[in-house]
Structure formats: structure tokens, C-alpha cells
Structure 1
Amino acid sequence: MDDAWTTRTQSDASSLSGTTGVYTPTHTTSSPPAATSLPAPFSTDGGIGSAPEAGETYMIRHVDTGKAVTLSGGELVLRTDPGMNGGWRWHCSETEDGWLHFRETVSGVYLGRDGWGGFQANKRSPNGTERLLIRPREAGGYNIFAMDWWKLGALCTRDTDGKLFETKEVAKASRWEFVRV
């Protein structure tokens, strides 16, 4: 039997009827365009924690649960997959005297103490309650402290409800990672 590519001319190939196919070498075809879809939901998986530096943006992730500090509906919560319903990108800035601030990039509000034993993000300009101190821990991660008059209060969470609160006991302080995004 004759090889269709070597014995037939182009006009013969174009006049072939129904059951005979025309063969196209694979190097002359292109892949179909990828289907357009929404981006994959945000996940706190992946990324390597680093020391926060002014001018960079971070996901602040709880070391023990892997959940990220997220501003959702005006409340600070921990979420694994906030998707598009929460602000989880925190831009770091530093004062001349060394305090760090973290501003949520969409709403423009700063992470800080609420004065009632908790943490919040609702101030558009940082003051004393938004000045944060970051301390590395030997076991990994960092503690996040805010000033409470002459004492430091540490950012803490209960694994059961994911709410953020402040503790005066360093042993109860949660450990956090700063993952550059």
C-alpha cells in the first residue's frame, strides 16, 4: 500500500472523501487555548517564613495551625482559605525609633491592640497601640507584641475559635511566621 504523504499530491489529498483523513504533523499544530477561570482560592499552604522588613508585604501565619491573620468583615480572624473575602496581605513599615507597623493592603488599616484585651485593625494611621515589637523564638516563628502602657501584650489565639486576643504571659504567646507575598 502506498504512503499517502509520499505518493499523493496536495490536490489529491484535498479531494479525498469522508472516511479518509488528512494527516497533519504534530509540529505544525498548536494547543487549544487554556480555559479561562477564576484564580485558585487563596491558601495559607506554602511559602517560607522570614524576618519582617520594612517595605515588604507579608502573610502573617500562625505557626501551630497554619492559618493566616485575616481582616474579614472588620474583624481580625484566622483563616486557612479566605479566598477573596478577606484581607490577609500586611505591608510592613518601620518608625525611626524601630517600631514596626503592619497595614492591611486593601482597607489601609493597621494591626494593633484594641485596649480591651484583644487585637483589631481599624485605624487608618498608626499610634501607640499599633506599634509592634517582633521577637524570634527558639522553637521557630516570632511573637508579636504591642505596648500596653509600660508592659507588652502578645498576640495570641485559641485554636478552637480562631479569635485573636492579647496575653501578658510570654509562655502563652502564639508563634507567627511572616511569609513574603
Structure 2
Amino acid sequence: MTLPTDFEKYKCDTPTHTSVADDSTSESSSVGCPSLSSDMGLFNASPWNGGLYIIRDPKTGLAIALKEGTLGLFPDVYHRGSGGRWRCVENDCLWLGFKNAVSGAYIGHNNKGGFVAEAKRHNGWECFCARQHPCGGHVLLVKHWSGFLPMKIGGKDNKELVVDAERRGGTAWEFIRVDEPCDIA
């Protein structure tokens, strides 16, 4: 595996021996750090308290973002200052929340089958659990009463975030870490 020249800034522990080799390649893979891209950030990251992320659907390339106050899926959120960067936060009960880096609003469900980013506090409708999907990425499960409901792509032109009320699995989101990873405790 070829690492970017700025790998040192990520300060991830990489084993000096006993790396796991993939049968499909002759190169050994590092353990403990997701794949890196020097121009974008840390790909295949797991959402973690304090991290700043772009949350993207790898199938369409669209990312969760706020545009003019509306939460949806958009293609052009990769530059700084856009509404497509989300700070992962954790409340006292260890529920995850996603706070927009521009507006300060949290993603939450509206109890009408959709998602919004309007709340300024991390309350019950803004609580998430991220579950790793076996084919890659993470399914975002929103707290719904005493259970979970997955978030998925749907709505008009498949550019809206909707609650998967049938619990069929939701969308497997790719988290791209755009701040300094591995520096948080």
C-alpha cells in the first residue's frame, strides 16, 4: 500500500511487523488506520466523538449537507465552509449526534418520516447509533422511542434523507474524516 507523503501528520500507530497480508495483493496492509487520501481526508473512518466528517453515499457520490437551511444530499460539499461538514458529538449517555459545522444545527428526525437539521441541542430526536455495515460504511440508526430506525436515501429524486420505517437496512454511509484523526482520546 502506498501512503501519502503527509502520512506523519496523522500520527496513527502502524505496526512495525506482523502486518496482515491480503491474498489478493503482494503488499502488506497497515492495521489501525483507514485508507488515506492526501487531498480529501481520512476515508472509511468510523464516526467518533470530536471528529469532523463529510458523510457520503459511496454509490451516488452525494453527501449529506445543508443548503439554504434545507437538509439533503448534494454533490458539491467538499470545499471548506460548505454545509457538508458534520462534527460528531457524544452526549452523557454516549449517543452520537451530528452538528453542522456552519449552522450549528443537529441532524434529527422530524417524526414525519424525514430528517431535518434545525435543533440547536442534542436531544432525543438527534440521537444516533452508527453500525458498521458488512459491505463497508456505516448505517446510521436514529433513536426512535425505545428502538432504532435506519436513515436511508429516498424522497424526491432520491436526494432526501428519510426514515426506513420498514427497517430494511438503511444506507451504508461513508465517513470521510476531514480534521486531524487519531489525536482525540
Answer yes or no: same fold by TM over 0.5. Answer: yes
Work out whether residues 82 and 102 of structure 2, in 8 Å CA contact, stay in contact via their aligned partners in 1: no
1:167 aligns with 2:177: no
Partner of 2:122: 126
Work out whether residues 72 and 85 of structure 1, in 8 Å CA contact, stay in contact via their aligned partners in 2: no
**TM-score normalised by the chain length of structure 1:** 0.69
Larger radius of gyration: 1
Work out whether residues 41 and 177 of structure 2, in 8 Å CA contact, stay in contact via their aligned partners in 1: no
Structure with the higher strand share, 1 or 2: 2
Runs of 4+ in 1 over 3 A off after TM superposition: 82-86
Q: Distance in 2 between matches of 1:163 and 1:113?
A: 12
1:153 aligns with 2:153: no
Aligned residues: 137
Structure with the higher helix share, 1 or 2: 1
**Corresponding residue SS for 1:129:** helix
Deviation of the 1:171 alpha carbon: 2.6
- Give unmatched runs, 5+ long, in structure 2: 1-39, 179-185
The RMSD of aligned alpha carbons is 2.0
Q: 1:155 is matched by which residue type in structure 2?
A: M
Where do 1:1-181 residues align within 5 Å? 48-82=43-77, 86-158=82-154, 160-181=157-178
Q: 2:69 is matched by which residue type in structure 1?
A: G
Q: 1:127 to 1:56 in 2, by over 3 A?
A: same
Work out whether residues 81 and 102 of structure 2, in 8 Å CA contact, stay in contact via their aligned partners in 1: no
- Name which of structure 1's ranges 83-92 and 111-120 shifts more when overlaid on structure 2: 83-92
Deviation of the 1:74 alpha carbon: 1.4
Q: 2:72 is matched by which residue type in structure 1?
A: V
